[in-house]
Amino acid sequence: MEEKRYLTFALTKGRLAEKTLSLLESVGLTCEEMKDKSSRKLVFVNEEQKLRFFLAKGPDVPTYVEYGAADIGVVGKDTLLEEGRRVYEVLDLGFGKCRMCVCGPESARELLKHHEMIRVASKYPNIAKEYFYNKKNQTVDIIKLNGSVELGPIVGLSDVIVDIVETGGTLRENGLEVLEEVCPLSARMIVNQVSMQMQPERIKDLIARLRGKLEL
Ligand code: PRP
């Protein structure tokens, strides 16, 4: 009976979705409909395998999964930490690797050392709060931004930023550097808690197949 239900995937739009789809394809889960780039469809179906896929903005993926609109999601660890949704994190997919860091001009290093009341700009206020308040026991003023966070210290909005560093290119080009590392990041697979009870065999089998592939 279990096999008759659809298994619905919420994928993060962009590069993560492309890598996820090729990983899923390598273990036999496909969706031809999704390869048609001219299509304006939002939900893609593989009737034969009873699979459904849709693309969403990163921060919305854990929301769809928590509420059960998707059984499975693929999203960056940064988003999972920031959103704090009740979902099972079942697999580190190993791609989308980068680091969450405190960055700023070299001159801000002293401010961090002496636990001064500094201003921190970030797209990730919850991660910044957790790091400064709970891990470092430092009271700071956190300012939420929505992108191009590197501007913060450059134009004098903040002393430092908490942001994702991948190649380090953006920081270098703007005279900023990594001052402290908060945590490593990568793409994770998440599962709705009820789906895990309702379709345990199917989901566990998928996780095992993906884990096997990732360990190769
Ligand atoms: C991310 C991040 C950095 C940049 C880091 O921004 O916020 O700005 O990538 O990558 P790098 O170390 O390889 O230079 P994104 O491109 O997602 O856009 P955003 O500035 O709008 O957040």
168 Cβ closer than 6 Å to some ligand 1 atom: yes
147 Cβ closer than 6 Å to some ligand 1 atom: yes
Sorting pLDDT into bands at 50, 70 and 90, what band is 2?
very low
In contact, 71 and 203? CB cutoff 8 Å: yes
- The b-or-e profile of 142-175 (16+ CB within 10 A means b, else e) is bbebeeebbebbeeeebbbbbbbbeeeebbeeee
In contact, 87 and 190? CB cutoff 8 Å: yes
For the record, the structure tokens of 162 come out as 């908490």
Distance CA 6, CA 214 (A): 25
CA–centroid distance, residue 114 to ligand 1 (Å) = 28
* CA nearest ligand 1 atom 20, residue: 148
pLDDT score of 186 more than 80: yes
Alpha-helical segments (H) within the chain: 15-26, 61-66, 77-83, 109-113, 125-129, 151-155, 169-173, 193-198, 200-215
Strands 72-76, 119-122: pairing kind: unpaired
Distance CA 101, CA 181 (A): 4
The predicted-structure confidence for 92-123, as pLDDT tens digits, reads as follows 999 999 999 999 999 999 999 988 899 999 99
126 Cβ closer than 6 Å to some ligand 1 atom: no
pLDDT at 38: 85
Sorting pLDDT into bands at 50, 70 and 90, what band is 12?
very high
Of residues 52 and 40, which shows the higher confidence score? 52
% residues pLDDT > 70 (the chain): 99
Our mutation pick for probing the ligand 1 site, out of 101, 162, 166, 176, counting the most ligand atoms within 8 A of Cβ, is: 166
Average pLDDT over residues 168-176: 97
3-state secondary structure at position 89: strand
* CA nearest ligand 1 atom 3, residue: 164
pLDDT at 116: 85
Q: Which of 9-23, 25-39, 50-64, 111-125 has the lowest mean pLDDT?
A: 25-39
> In whole angstroms, how far apart are CA 213 and each of 10, 25, 27, 36?
21, 11, 7, 26
* CA nearest ligand 1 atom 10, residue: 166
165 Cβ closer than 6 Å to some ligand 1 atom: yes
> Would you say the C-alpha torsion 45, 32, 17, 43 has a positive or negative sign?
negative
In contact, 54 and 74? CB cutoff 8 Å: no
Instruction: Compute, in degrees rounded to 10, the torsion defined by CA atoms 60, 66, 71, 72.
Output: 60
164 Cβ closer than 6 Å to some ligand 1 atom: yes
Distance CA 54, CA 39 (A): 13
